[in-house]
Chains A and B, each alone.
Chain A
């Protein structure tokens, strides 16, 4: 056989072997047998020496051309095998994705804390800074500096949790006002949020403990209309587009005094008291009530999540039943 005939035969055998290979492994075998460094096709190059000098380059090119052709065929077949084998391999590794995942405990904020944070975030965005003030408050701050007449019914022992003659649990976060004005001159934009306490029978809608957010603004040119606009803005941030109701009410520390509410379904959700800081209070804090005016409010927090989530019993907040807490 001439080297050329030998080449044709080996090439034909290699082609057959390629065509018969049924897996990547078999293909690798064909690769080694024919195309490897010691493969049969590669080995044909050794026959170059038996050829006349003028035929040698052509034979060498012919061998390489056949090799390239086989390699190309092999790459195509290999591509097909890889995709199929990959599919088989991953199919064997498949899981039932409808089964539950590896569980983690889910925790989170109490709905009252979460509501307080929403209120804080909204008011901070509107320029009001928050401070911390005591729950055990001096009578002086809770009542006396807030323009309560000497024997106002609110002082009544039966309405407030007194600790001694001077200290009681604050009945309103409004107690923070004088702390602020003792330490700061206008312009003032301050707020606080926290627990308040009043003697009350515990039932679905009443508790001896509740939460309030108080706000105090003192500046030149503040008006009742500004209070209304500020309240409406907060309500939009918290509840979206809602109708705001401003109604006259009485609190010793504001004049004019307002009760604020929003429309919630077919009823008014009364959220608290507000008004223009009474000039008596500004004057007692050494602030010129002709130059400066102020507005303030104390809003109840607890009613907000009760309305939003349609919670019908305030006692659930302090019961801390996990089945309740995990709903928020």
Chain B
């Protein structure tokens, strides 16, 4: 809340500067986020935690300051006047549900003069962030800010027979609130009513019908305690948060009800010329029992790591206004303004706060921890980052959120948010590549035309069976531009294409020691149909490597003209992890020389290298064939249009002896024969 410092100082008498006082409050847990100047002098902007509604007033803040400084609070509630109950002749209050409204008090003030409030009061209210309006409204707001108790003033003449009924709303009731909005009240909303209909939304906002205006002569002043949960539900249902509802939601001390009421009446008598009708309506069924908590000093020290004695502990609690009876354990009576203190552990924290967290020792746990490690997936992800980073790719991190784009597939599996905030914030990414493509496009637009990005991250999809939502860790990359950086010395290595990406996948799986990877021609949504390979691991698809469909790039990526091919891959990292080997057996180094032979054949242009490779391997002795490497692929003038020339090198080696020319020639002859018979290859 915003609190003028001078107001605070009326309740707590200290010579500390504003800055030091703010620091002391902050270190006690009531953070002063900033100090700003106003017409009413410096103002503290405090950050009130959800458990401490009592800090939402000058009094509550002062109480904390006094405790933190270990000095007395310079405020005592004025004794409540004990008077004849004249007020009963003017007004009456009926509560139908005391659980929702445990206490309701009222006073009548007659012949008020509606005008502006005194200047000092207006300044304070304005400095605290509220708008001065007229003396009656300003007084209620002033008391709200000072004591934390919301009040409401009704135009008495608009209340037939002075009858006030506090009840849950019936079906189809509506009200026009002070802000001029007509609101339908959900059935059961706690309301303040006259005999027939709602005139205020309890604890949230008054109604326009009974609003205090310049014509108002007499007023009925309400001070009540409402159930926090009920007010929270109402404020949420009506989507309406006010200074009053904000406080009621966080619980307001019911003991403040008459104190705040008399304080407001006193101020109205002073500043609005009002005649306060003697007496006070106060419907208070069952005052809540004061909480009594036992506190073991040993428990305090074993939680905080301190060596405080019983007296020190008791003193900490007394500073906070708690009543402590000596003994071991200590018996602690909690005042009504601290509903957050329920259990022993709550008191331990209070002792810690009063002792000062800054004065706690710094120790390490006595028992050493055992051996610790990262998760297998965490470790594996790091190997992937190191490998791809080392291969010259930059790691990107894109949002888990993603719109469904033309690069995405499988909309029925997409996890969508219950309330989409925008296209970007409407659901979770199904894959990494679409997000990466947008990051790549950003870079190309910034004239970073050589872009090589990868990401290791989760993708999301609706699950099947037990898990409604499934998450998998993927690795993906997108590339465009030159294969190697431009150099003054070297030949141009050309631009990124399918093989650049496939080379990276091969490098990655080799580095990770994953065996059993094969590449099959296939199709993937938004990828170039002639330049896509499905990556399989032991026959199971685990991703793809491809060039992005050039038409999809043109139509759906905002890129300047002239951008070259974009290559991409995306793999299921968890599948790779499951098959990654860290237990390969050592292979002895070869002792005998290798012999190689080059074979050059002409085959149909559509024939894949995989078929040549398989045919050659099928007829070779696997114990002798060490490697089969492509040397060159040629299409052009020197072969027919529907043909291509493939040159490849066979490398043979025996672990037991030096191979003879005859051994190798026999192998090569078998290969050539098989290529001719099975694939129609013509030797060149």
Interfacial residues, chain A to chain B (CB-CB below 8 A): 99-100, 102-110, 112-113, 117, 120, 123-132, 134-136, 150-153, 156-157, 161-164, 167, 169, 187, 189, 195, 197, 199, 208-209, 217, 219-226, 228-230, 232-233, 244-250, 255-259, 276, 278-279, 293, 317-323, 325-326
**Given known contacts A109-B385, A134-B471, A320 and B372 CB-to-CB distance under 8 angstroms:** no
CB atoms of A321 and B446 under 8 A apart: yes
CB atoms of B397 and A225 under 8 A apart: no
A247 to B306, CA, bound (A): 16
Q: Which residue of B lies closest to A255 (CB)?
A: B345
Of the candidate stretches B74-82, B159-167, B356-364, B551-559, the one touching chain A is B356-364
CB atoms of A223 and B305 under 8 A apart: yes
* Chain A nearest CB, measured from B218 CB (Å): 38
Tally of contact residues, B, Cβ under 8 A? 92
CB atoms of B439 and A230 under 8 A apart: no
A123 to B374, CA, bound (A): 10
* Chain B nearest CB, measured from A85 CB (Å): 28
Is B453 in contact with chain A by the CB < 8 A criterion? yes
* Chain B nearest CB, measured from A98 CB (Å): 12
CB atoms of A107 and B452 under 8 A apart: yes
Chain B positions within 8 Å of A150 at CB level: 229
Is B562 in contact with chain A by the CB < 8 A criterion? no
CB atoms of B453 and A320 under 8 A apart: yes
Q: What would be 25 A-B contacts, judged by CB atoms less than 8 Å apart?
A: A104-B484, A107-B395, A113-B385, A129-B374, A132-B377, A135-B400, A151-B229, A157-B419, A169-B400, A189-B372, A195-B458, A209-B401, A219-B365, A219-B367, A221-B302, A223-B304, A224-B303, A247-B31, A249-B31, A256-B303, A256-B352, A279-B343, A320-B394, A322-B451, A323-B446
Among B349, B388, B396, the residue within 8 A (CB) of A255 is: B349
CB atoms of B360 and A102 under 8 A apart: no
A245 to B373, CA, bound (A): 29
CB atoms of A100 and B488 under 8 A apart: yes
Among A113, A136, A276, the residue within 8 A (CB) of B460 is: A136
Chain B positions within 8 Å of A257 at CB level: 349
CB atoms of B363 and A225 under 8 A apart: yes
CB atoms of B302 and A153 under 8 A apart: no
- B446-470 contact mask (Cβ, 8 Å, vs A): 1 or 0: 1010111110101010000000110
Chain B positions within 8 Å of A117 at CB level: 382
Q: Which residue of A lies closest to B392 (CB)?
A: A105
Of the candidate stretches B46-54, B188-196, B584-592, B650-658, the one touching chain A is B46-54
Is B346 in contact with chain A by the CB < 8 A criterion? yes
Of the candidate stretches B22-30, B130-138, B207-215, B625-633, the one touching chain A is B22-30
- Most A CB contacts (10 A, CB to CB) among B343, B346, B362 go to B362
Chain A positions within 8 Å of B442 at CB level: 319-321
CB atoms of B365 and A221 under 8 A apart: yes
- Most A CB contacts (10 A, CB to CB) among B394, B400, B443, B460 go to B394
CB atoms of B353 and A256 under 8 A apart: yes
Is B487 in contact with chain A by the CB < 8 A criterion? yes
* Chain A nearest CB, measured from B412 CB (Å): 15
CB atoms of B417 and A161 under 8 A apart: yes
CB atoms of A325 and B394 under 8 A apart: yes
A129 to B373, CA, bound (A): 5
CB atoms of B490 and A102 under 8 A apart: yes
Is B378 in contact with chain A by the CB < 8 A criterion? yes
- Within residues 406 to 452 of chain B, which ones have a CB less than 8 A from any CB in chain A? 415-419, 421, 425, 428, 439, 442-443, 446, 448, 450-452
CB atoms of A224 and B372 under 8 A apart: no
A136 to B343, CA, bound (A): 33
CB atoms of A107 and B443 under 8 A apart: no
A153 to B236, CA, bound (A): 10
CB atoms of A318 and B399 under 8 A apart: yes
Chain B positions within 8 Å of A326 at CB level: 394
CB atoms of B353 and A229 under 8 A apart: no
Chain B positions within 8 Å of A221 at CB level: 302, 365-367
CB atoms of B358 and A189 under 8 A apart: no
- Listed from nearest, the 6 A-B pairs whose CB atoms lie closest are A127-B369, A105-B392, A225-B305, A223-B305, A248-B29, A250-B49
Is B65 in contact with chain A by the CB < 8 A criterion? no
CB atoms of B487 and A135 under 8 A apart: no
CB atoms of B305 and A226 under 8 A apart: yes
CB atoms of B50 and A250 under 8 A apart: yes
Is B375 in contact with chain A by the CB < 8 A criterion? yes
CB atoms of B421 and A102 under 8 A apart: no
* Chain A nearest CB, measured from B155 CB (Å): 34
* Chain B nearest CB, measured from A236 CB (Å): 10
Chain A positions within 8 Å of B26 at CB level: 247
CB atoms of A223 and B372 under 8 A apart: no
CB atoms of A108 and B394 under 8 A apart: yes
A223 to B365, CA, bound (A): 8
A299 to B371, CA, bound (A): 23
CB atoms of A163 and B417 under 8 A apart: yes
- Most B CB contacts (10 A, CB to CB) among A110, A197, A208 go to A110
A320 to B435, CA, bound (A): 11
Chain A positions within 8 Å of B373 at CB level: 124, 129-130
A318 to B402, CA, bound (A): 12
Chain B positions within 8 Å of A223 at CB level: 302-305, 363
- B218-252 contact mask (Cβ, 8 Å, vs A): 1 or 0: 00000000000100110010000000000000000
Is B391 in contact with chain A by the CB < 8 A criterion? yes
Chain B positions within 8 Å of A104 at CB level: 392, 484-485
Q: Which residue of B lies closest to A290 (CB)?
A: B299
A225 to B304, CA, bound (A): 6
Chain A positions within 8 Å of B453 at CB level: 320, 322
A129 to B352, CA, bound (A): 30
Is B348 in contact with chain A by the CB < 8 A criterion? yes
CB atoms of A248 and B352 under 8 A apart: yes
CB atoms of B372 and A128 under 8 A apart: yes
CB atoms of B28 and A248 under 8 A apart: yes
- Most A CB contacts (10 A, CB to CB) among B400, B415, B490 go to B400
A135 to B469, CA, bound (A): 10
- Most B CB contacts (10 A, CB to CB) among A120, A127, A219, A244 go to A127
CB atoms of B370 and A127 under 8 A apart: yes
Is B216 in contact with chain A by the CB < 8 A criterion? no
